Chains A and B, each alone.
Chain A
Amino acid sequence: MQLTLWTYEGPPHIGAMRVATGMMGLHYVLHAPQGDTYADLLFTMIERRDRRPPVTYTTFQARDLGGDTAELFKTSCAAAYERFKPEAMIVGASCTAELIQDDPGGLASTLGLPIPVIALELPAYQKKENWGASETFYRLVRALAKPGTKRAANTCNILGPSALGFRNRDDIVEIKRLLTTLGVEVLVTAPMSASPSDLVKLPEAAFNISLYPEVSDGAARFLEKNFDQKFTKTIPIGVGATRKFLTEVAALAGLDATELIAQEQGRLPWYSKSVDSTYLTGKRVFVFGDATHAMAAALMAKNELAFDVVGIGTYSREFAKSVRELAAELGVEALITDDYLDVEAKVAELQPDLVLGTQMERHIAKRLGVPCAVISAPVHVQDFPARFSPHMGFEGANVIFDTWVHPLMMGLEEHLLHMFRDDFEFNEGAAPSHLGHQKQETAAPGNVVNATLNWLPDAEAELKKIPFFVRKKARRNTETYAANHGVNHITVETLYDAKAHFSK
């Protein structure tokens, strides 16, 4: 039993949902109690998806447990097929259904549906979300991929992007652009945007690009072993890694990346060399995230921004070994944990200048007053920005430069601080001028509409119950109302009279 305040990863069936929701023409029938449907809102709210995830939940209740939950599963499964007519189906259980052992795979097979039905075994009390995504994708590929005629040496598949993936939507656009420029043809991108019939033809490509190993590693290894498709090992985050990635792809495709690399590099190299960036030198950064993003960020921080990496860690235990190796190269100890409190303690101990982490570290950093940029899932609504903002490729490096530098003091500003270090306005306690987050909320005698107004204690107390972010407005409205109505002593009644007056 583990005490958990916040989790970095959901249960494994959430991973399966990320695969199913990214794909087209696939439906997931999940044996689960009511309440587990909360998972839909992750996709519709955080990612602003315009349709419900393709998931049918059996939503069994206590009264069903004494009866026939197996029959309920079969009915739900048959109804889901009739309504959605998918090309293929995955079936499985969430944590509670795992305990009642109804065997969704066996039950579904008795229905004799005219489509492939793939049973998922996702042990909810051992494994987590990314493992579930990886296992689901692997099972789908294993069940659906069929030997076909090999296409030309320059054809590849992109493996790994999924729904709710960190910047996956835009990474794919940037990577495809680079591949097209290089002369590589992308046959299938999966799971995101692929249909089950697309998975059938995966083996036709010459090689695979494994972009998010947390999701794609299992499938990529299966395809290598069974269909002789090599796959890429470099993750193209950062200018150096993107160059290395393009060279690796070119070698697999029998092409030459030299010209592309010479022509394209994005703005990061020059921005990092320009004198305004001098102040970035040796900033102490702490990096935490999934293994892929944390490792890429640490290398980029060291080589492309000249930061000092003072700590690196991951919640992806499956990839702990690689993270430990990189940490050793960087001369720091790796923090392998999914306990948010351990991470917080580490940040507090290291007191870095910048945290590169997940949405969880953003909260830790905010609490400790340390600047932070988000580099990895778990994601929040702000990790799906309206603008194009990949983290991969040369454009990704541009985006990252801006994202990491923004929370810090602007270059010239830091120089001024240095020059006027004991000045009453420019001092080390001052917040960056473009970010107000350390500014004290000042008591606002200057805001009083009319100095003759007198707040009676009851009214003042009532005002304090109003949420702080609208309290100033309420105070202003009440005072305006009182002034306009010749009220000198503000009572609780005045407060609500004003509220009624201004409501619309």
Chain B
Amino acid sequence: MNIIAKNIKAAGCETAPVLRERGQREVFCGLTSIVWLHRKIQDAFFLVVGSRTCAHLVQSAAGVMIFAEPRFATAIIDERDLAGLADIDDELDRVVNRLLERRPEIRMLFLVGSCPSEVIKLDLKRAASRLNRQHLPNVRVLNYSGSGIETTFTQGEDACLASLAEDLPKYTGKANLVIAGSLPDAVEDQFTRYLEEMGIDVSFLPGRRSNAMPAIGPNTVFLMAQPFLGDTARVLKEKGAAALQAPFPFGAEGTTLWLKAAATHFGVSDAVFKKVTSAPRQRAELALSKFKKSLGGKSIFFFPDSQLELPLARFASRELDMELVEVGTPYLHTQHMAQELALLPAGTMLSEGQDVDKQLDRCRAARPDITVCGLGLANPLEAEGLTTKWSIELVFSPIHGYEQAGDLAGLFARPIARSERLAV
């Protein structure tokens, strides 16, 4: 741990200038996060109140129709609603009732606001409380906005979890830990095992079912597993919980520092911490050492997408010896990113926001060995001879924690290996 602490002081980007751009953004809106949130909360349904564009977006982002009858849908606003020929509240109630009749197993319903619903100022909060009067205790109705005018991609999860957090019961027990941010179940189970072995009582936001959500109170501390949860953190703090600061749990180092933050707070001895983490940590380091050979010295360019860019760049730089050309992020929360910024190599080119054509010009000029970008840019860049990694896969795949460190490196290594192997 001391070695790491020294490194933190030696490097650092805390005061580095950030290129802030405002132009065309090539990013998803927050509705896209429904694609993984509906898999995570197994008895929740996500009803977007929006336009045909919203329905088409969610369906296209989901890789087009994976599930025969998914737990998400769109209530498409039509001209009758806009012209006032139909009472839009009655229409929404009708749609919700039809939906809940069809899906009696649903226990939690999110009304998800969109660009059109925000622009016409449709009050989904009021709609949710009206529907709650009708459907509680069978179904709890919550609301949040995933609109593109307010949220970028993963911020949809932030808005969703913030709405969940508002609604959480008060926790009055002894000190507990809540991990915020949706994680694949297998990763959650790994973290639970480590923390329980250290004697820490842990729960997760979101829980896997509507009746398995954590309680929050002044004895709660929380640790963010995802870097994009600004609003969720604010709500948790308002409910009395305290935030633990740590880098995010990517790679052997990131996972160690993240777990260490919890261990330190709960007074876990170094010996116990080492006993719990040393075997998986060594496995992670072993897995990463194999990738270092192929990825070390390779240059990497991040287009802004999920806000995972800074932690991933830190991982690529420190644990894979990759060279950071540009690290773009849709938003830079300097407070939540403080520890990540400190670990980035001095002089890293950071950019916030986007002007996609100018950023593409920079990327073409730099010709990085690998470019992490959205699906709309990947094939065009490949056609120009650049190797790419779809950023969306970094959000959908299990990449957190020790046992997934090798998989995360593999996501960067595979496209490079492929372009090296192809002889056509």
Contacts and interface: CB of A to CB of B under 8 A. Distances in A.
A297 to B, nearest CB: 21
A33 B74 contact: no
B209 interface: no
Nearest to A49: B379
A38 B75 contact: no
Interface string B163-201: 000000000000000000000011001000100000000
Contacts of B185: 465
Interface stretch (A135-143, A225-233, A356-364, A448-456): A356-364
Contact of B148 (A13, A36, A45): A36
Given A34-B29, A35-B31, A466-B186, A3 B75 contact: yes
Main secondary structure of the interface of B (DSSP, over half): helix
A128 interface: yes
A499 B287 CA distance: 9
Nearest to B361: A83
B229 to A, nearest CB: 19
B150 to A, nearest CB: 5
B11 interface: no
A59 B68 contact: no
A33 B115 contact: yes
Nearest to B73: A5
Interface in A212-256: none
A99 B116 CA distance: 7
Nearest to A48: B379
Nearest to A380: B64
Given A34-B27, A35-B57, A503-B290, A125 B406 contact: no
A300 to B, nearest CB: 26
Interface residues of B, number: 76
Contact of B70 (A5, A35, A40, A45): A5
B218 interface: no
B23 to A, nearest CB: 8
B420 interface: no
* Residue from A13, A38, A367, A462 with most neighbouring chain B CB atoms (10 Å): A38
Given A3-B95, A38-B376, A128 B52 contact: yes
A121 to B, nearest CB: 14
A99 B59 CA distance: 23
B269 interface: no
B81 A1 contact: yes
Interface stretch (B239-247, B257-265, B278-286, B320-328): B278-286
B51 A11 contact: yes
Given A41-B374, A99-B120, A94 B53 contact: yes
A328 B74 CA distance: 34
Contacts of B68: 363-364, 366-367
A46 B150 CA distance: 28
A380 B374 CA distance: 18
A37 interface: yes
Interface string A183-214: 00000000000000000000000000000000
Contacts of B88: 1
Interface in B391-424: 403, 406-407, 410
A7 B52 contact: yes
Interface in B48-104: 51-53, 55-57, 59-61, 64-65, 68-70, 73-79, 81-82, 86, 88, 91-92, 94-95, 98-99
B115 A96 contact: yes
A65 B234 CA distance: 25
Interface string A9-36: 1110110000000000000000001111
A296 to B, nearest CB: 24
Contact of A58 (B24, B26, B280, B357): B24
B406 A503 contact: yes
Interface in A50-90: 50-52, 56-62, 64-65, 76, 79, 83
A1 B91 contact: yes
A50 B76 CA distance: 33
A342 interface: no
Given A3-B75, A41-B60, A11 B52 contact: yes
A57 B115 CA distance: 15
Contacts of A123: 79
B147 interface: yes
A125 B82 contact: yes
Nearest to B95: A3
Contact of B53 (A1, A36, A466): A36
A147 to B, nearest CB: 38
B94 A1 contact: yes
B149 A44 contact: no
Contacts of A41: 60-61, 374-376
B380 interface: yes
Given A35-B31, A35-B148, A466-B186, A59 B24 contact: yes
A111 to B, nearest CB: 17
Contacts of B60: 38-39, 41-42
Interface in A379-415: 380
B283 A496 contact: yes
B119 interface: yes
Interface string B380-392: 1011000000000
Interface in B179-238: 185-186, 189, 193
Contacts of A64: 149
- Which of A45, A56, A500 has the most CB atoms of chain B within a 10 A radius of its CB? A500
B53 A44 contact: no
Contacts of B193: 492
Contacts of B380: 44, 49-52
B290 A504 contact: yes
Contact of A503 (B24, B56, B357, B410): B410
Nearest to A364: B68
Interface in B356-386: 357, 374-380, 382-383
A324 to B, nearest CB: 24
Contact of B149 (A96, A128, A359, A364): A96
Contact of A61 (B74, B92, B150, B403): B150
Contacts of B99: 3
B152 interface: yes
B286 A34 contact: no
Given A1-B94, A35-B148, A363-B65, A51 B27 contact: no
Interface string B129-148: 00000000000000000011
Contacts of B25: 34, 37, 59
A96 B119 contact: yes
Nearest to B286: A500
B118 interface: yes
Contacts of A496: 280, 283, 403
A359 B64 contact: yes
Residue from the set B60, B70, B407 with the largest chain A CB neighbour count within 10 Å: B60
Given A1-B75, A123-B79, A126-B79, A45 B379 contact: yes
A65 B147 CA distance: 13
Contacts of A275: none
A33 B147 contact: yes
A37 B77 CA distance: 21
Contacts of A50: 379-380, 382-383
B220 to A, nearest CB: 27
B375 A1 contact: no
A6 B286 CA distance: 45
B26 A40 contact: yes
B383 A5 contact: no
A1 B148 contact: no
B379 A60 contact: no
B376 A7 contact: no
A33 B52 contact: no
A428 interface: no
Given A61-B150, A96-B149, 6 more contacts: A4-B74, A4-B75, A10-B56, A36-B53, A58-B24, A125-B77
6 contacts: A5-B70, A10-B56, A35-B31, A50-B382, A95-B52, A503-B287
The 7 closest A-B pairs by CB, nearest first: A35-B29, A35-B148, A40-B376, A50-B383, A1-B91, A96-B115, A95-B51
